Each structure stands twice: as structure tokens, then as C-alpha cells.
Amino acid sequence: MPGEFDIIERYFRRPAPHAALGIGDDCALLQPAPGQQWAVSTDMLVEGRHFFAGTDPRRLGHKALAVNLSDLAAMGAQPHSFLLALALPAPDAAWLQAFSSGLLELADAHGIELVGGDTTRGPLNLCLTVLGLVPGGLALRRDAARAGDEIWVSGTPGDARLALGHLRGEWELSPAALERVRARLEQPQPRVQLGNSLRGVAHAAIDVSDGLLGDLLHVLRASAVGARIDVDAVPAAPDLAQQPVARRRACQLAGGDDYELLFTAPAQHSEEVLRASAQAGVRVTRIGCIEAEPGLRLRDAQGRSMPMEFASFDHFLQP
């Protein structure tokens, strides 16, 4: 049975050319370029809470890093390095091999290097800490939304929640539809390039991890503003568009796990927003605007106001 050091050595060790010193000493040593700030974030994935027991380990490796990269994307930061703390019930070689390839493939795609970590025996639990770099003062922050800003969202939010509903038995999807939306749930694509391209263009940004409206509320509170959202302007992928309207809206507005970017930008920057979107190859859609009056107002396609009935996912409210 491989020990703690063998696991890191065998499955996770890679050259880390951007670190002054990578894995192997008591600490890694990192050197930011002059004028850059570190953007640092940590996220924990617990079996049974954030993912189902028996989830494909390759997809799990991808997702564990993707959700952390998504936080860097939301700040407009360029991924630099990460640390991995892993609790495993048993050192299963096939599981480790698949998990590390899912993780390191995404790491290579974004040029982010593993510079340290820890492994221990215990219930399956993945905790990653990511570090990114952003030019001083240019990070996209939650407290930077201003009245008059347009509100934009990337991609098609709600797909991950559509998959989750099937897996929980809330509704049933065709096998082909399930396959498509399940990939969105289990292998989200962090919008790193889009976040980087939005620096100096967008005001505030957040990644949609817990639900579009709930995450928007974090921005509104931090910025001390309100917003109007045109509910039916939120784009839906074909599988979600075919659902009953109430389900579609609930998935789009309250579903989590999509890891799309929600951001605000002054109206005079809309051309630049579209350029950033084209640069990143990610669709963006205008879904509302920031208003001075506090609170969140929802409007349907006919301009009728709608009740604010979409509670966001909150881990501490769940049984």
C-alpha cells in the first residue's frame, strides 16, 4: 500500500517551472511578478454533500480544480499554482490514477502548477487552494457594481441543475439529454479567459456556484445597489429550453454548479464586453441592469413583475 509521500510522488508530482520551489520541501516558494497581486481561494468538495458517492474519479478530478479556477476567473485573475489536500478512505490505485489525470489535464490546460499538498486516510474529501495573479487594483470585485451598469451572464445557466434533478429523481430526462447536461454538472468549464478579458471592462463579477439570483444578491449587498432582472432574457440550452417554463426558470435562476460568470459593466462598455466574449469563445447575454434602489426586481418577457420566489441553494438550510 503506497504511503502519503508515494501518493504525491506517483500520481501528482509534475515540474512546476513558475514556482521558485515546488513540491518536496516544507513549503513551496512563489514569487509574484512586480505590480501583481495574489488572488487566493480555497474550496472543499465532500462526498455525499457536493458530489455523489461513486462519481467518476476522472470527472471529479476535473471538477475539484474547475470550481477553484472559476473563483480565479470571477476575479479576473490568471491561474498560477495550487495546493491539494486529499482525504481518502483507501489508497485505491485505479481511483488515484483517474482522479489525478482529470485534475492534471485541466491544470495543464490552464497552465496552473501543483506546488504542494497533503494526503491522509479518512472519508473522501478534496480541498484545493488556488493562487492566481492579477495586476494590482484591477481585480473584478463584488463591491464594484454601479447603478446604470448592465448585468451579463456567460453561457447557459441551469444545465447543471437540470442534470441534478434527474439524478435526484425530481424529473426524468432522455439518456441523450442526461449525458449532455451531466457533463455540464460534472465537468464545468471555468471561464478563466473571459474573466481575464473583462479586466478593465467589467465593474463587478462573481461566478455562479450557488444560483444566479443568490449569487447576484452577494454583488448587490457588497455594492449597496439593487437590480432588475429580465427573467426570460436568461439564455437556455436546448435541453433546458424544452422543459416546462417554471422548471426552466427555477434551474436558471436558482440552480447552482454551472460556474458561469455573472458580471456588471457600464452600458458604454457593451462593445468591449462582446469583444471579450468573442476573444474567450464564450457567449454572454445581457439579462438586466443595476439600479440605485436596493432590492431585486424580476420581470418576465411581457414586462410584468414577478414574485421573488427562487431561493438560492444554501448548504446550511439543507437537511
Provide the binding-site residues for Mg ion, judged by CB under 5 A: 71, 207, 209
Closer CB to Mg ion, 67 or 231, in the complex: 67
As measured in angstroms, the least distance from the Cβ of 209 to Mg ion is 5
As measured in angstroms, the least distance from the Cβ of 207 to Mg ion is 4
For the beta sheet containing 205-208, the strands, ordered from the edge strand earlier in sequence to the opposite edge, are 205-208, 260-265, 150-154, 284-291, 226-230, 295-299, 305-306
Q: Check the CA dihedral 148-308-222-274 and report its sign.
A: negative
Question: Cα–Cα distance between 234 and 195 in angstroms, integer?
Answer: 19
As measured in angstroms, the least distance from the Cβ of 177 to Mg ion is 27
Which ranges of 130-197 does DSSP label H, i.e. alpha helix?
A: 159-167, 175-186, 192-197
As measured in angstroms, the least distance from the Cβ of 280 to Mg ion is 18
Closer CB to Mg ion, 28 or 66, in the complex: 66
**Neighbour-count burial of 255, counting CB atoms closer than 10 A to its CB (0-12 exposed, 13-18 middle, 19+ buried):** buried
For the beta sheet containing 125-135, the strands, ordered from the edge strand earlier in sequence to the opposite edge, are 36-46, 125-135, 78-88, 113-121
CA of residue 144 relative to chain centroid, distance: 19
Closer CB to Mg ion, 158 or 211, in the complex: 211
Question: Cα–Cα distance between 28 and 22 in angstroms, integer?
Answer: 5
As measured in angstroms, the least distance from the Cβ of 125 to Mg ion is 19
As measured in angstroms, the least distance from the Cβ of 210 to Mg ion is 8
Closer CB to Mg ion, 71 or 232, in the complex: 71
Nearest CA to 10 among 126, 122, 95? 95
Closer CB to Mg ion, 16 or 185, in the complex: 185
Closer CB to Mg ion, 71 or 186, in the complex: 71
**C-alpha triplet 214, 109, 208: angle, nearest 5°:** 5
Nearest CA to 210 among 315, 317, 73? 315
Closer CB to Mg ion, 161 or 248, in the complex: 161
As measured in angstroms, the least distance from the Cβ of 262 to Mg ion is 10
